[in-house]
Structure 1
Amino acid sequence: MKSVKFILLATLFFSIFAILIAQNQLIGIDIEEVLIIEGLGESLIYQRGSVTTDYEGNVYITDLEDYSIKKFSNSGELIAVTGKRGDEPGEFQGPNIIRYYRGKIYVSEVYRPGIQVFDDDLNFKFKIPIPFTMIDFNVLYEDRIAISTLIKDRSDTGFIFCIYFYDSKGNREKKEEEGEEGEEKEEVDDKIIYSTDKDFTMMNTVSFQDYRKNYFMIAYDWKDKIDRYYKSGRLVWTRSLLGNKDAQIRKEGYSKRSFGVYPVEAVYKAIALDKQGNLFILGGDLSANINRDVYVLSKDNELITTFTLSEASGTIHIDRNNFLYSRSKDGKKLTKYAIEYFFE
């Protein structure tokens, strides 16, 4: 009985603490380096790649030099390595994005469609046969994956650019949509249309994160644009952070094998969400400190602060304990930061 009372009191205390924190206004953020993992001349980490973490704080990365994925302990010790160049299960033609979800590691590739799935000891389990390569993806549930990509999806007015939803067998998910008055509901692809364009262009590629499975935060790679969408596909808000600056582009003749317009400068490199739903956005070539500035937006679209990483970064990640990870631009170094929040 005493233990039950203790649990109830502890739960009440943390609930009140969480409410008090939520009522205070976040006015600033500071970061402190707590761990560095680097190659030390042995090429443990090489080139720009992705990073994720599990519930215990173990770190998983993709490595493009030796076509592998690697697991490090929360203290930086190398625990496991798997993968090599090849086309067999557990082999890669360029491991790219890596995600963790409930004991499984999900890995996409640069040059090959589909997602390979491993357990948290890096044993290959199965492959999800997504029919194209991905720009970004997030695992929402074991049987629901959100994906951004460049495929020629059209509407009556031109090309549409979407986040699509697939199940673990590689099937595109459907939803029912209201028809015209008097007509039955129609089954259509489940997707969030975030942009339309008369041309099929790389300028509409995005990184995205989901918040509690209800909202999707989208940052354009080559445009000064941040969006928030409901899972239903309705736009909540949109904004810029850099005064709508235009990235440099290179134009070529459009053909079936060419996009016609190629971006030269990245506006935003990556995004991450903390436990409170604040959005951390890694700036690119147009930021004051190139590839180092991180902008922090609240759920309500307010710019809370901007802070600067100690060195140029290629991607960022925040774990469930609100530690920030930065993968250096060349991918050879991973830095873990403790985040300190300042409230008013």
Structure 2
Amino acid sequence: MTLDAETMRVGNVPSPAAEKDVARNIVVPRRHPGRWLAVVFIAIIGLQAAHAVAVNPNFHWDVFLKYLFWPQVIRGVGWTLLLTVIAMAVAIFVAGLLVIMRDGENPVLKWLAYSWIWFFRGTPVYTQLLFWGLFAVLFPTLSLSIPFGPEITSIETRYLVTPAAAAILGLGFNESAYLTEIFRAGFSSIDRGQAEAAQALGMRPAKIWWRILMPQAMRVIIPPTGNETIGMLKMTSLVLAVPFTLDLTFATNAISNRLYLPIPLLMVAGTWYLAITSLLMIGQHYLECHFGKGVSPHATRVE
């Protein structure tokens, strides 16, 4: 654009005509009326749905509020959390061993790891829990003896494989097969040259794993492991197959069967599961932020 003498700057101070010309070229943000219409439409539908649920007497909100913090329900929440934490600890420990076995050079251990993953991924978790619940029936006693010789000691299985132990083993072993593949994918995503460079610098293998490989692998491992933890939390509702009768689902079902009101007690269980899941998601977010330091997910790649 060409400016005449009246619109030329005088020294460092623009003339009024130049200021008017610059103001005329201010960029106005683009309007998006469709977005606001969608927000209004969704808000109307959401308010109508919330009002319909709130005033519907079939939900029995008084029963819901009464049993939300009922002692039996709170105890069920505690047992559900305990099962989730211990079963995930067992699964992580077993998965770590399976990764080492699968990537090792021993063909027997490698075949054993493949067989474990094949079996526990290929059979339903409910079937596995039923098996662990019937373990004491299948093997009434567990004994230690010399091969083809006398028995050294024995114990009744029902004292060793209790319902709680059966639930933990069933959930943990099943989950370990999935975590093995997650861990293997995380470690496979790291360039092997980094470990070779660390070895060239004289670092010990344990330090290489802890300081170089593990932090990078955790960026890949944490998101799917967080999903598996949330799935494990909800999978505890199947431990009735053991039978384990102290979890949250069994507690709310027992109350609903006594009151003949399943809907409010289902909402009680759903509310607690949703609350615990929300806390787990917050923890997962902070773990991802911790191990993702220095890596921006919104970084622009420069060609």
| TM-score w.r.t. length of structure 2 | 0.25
The structure with higher relative contact order (CA 8 Å, sep 6+) is 2
Q: TM-score, normalised by structure 1?
A: 0.23
Larger radius of gyration: 2
Higher helix proportion, which one? 2
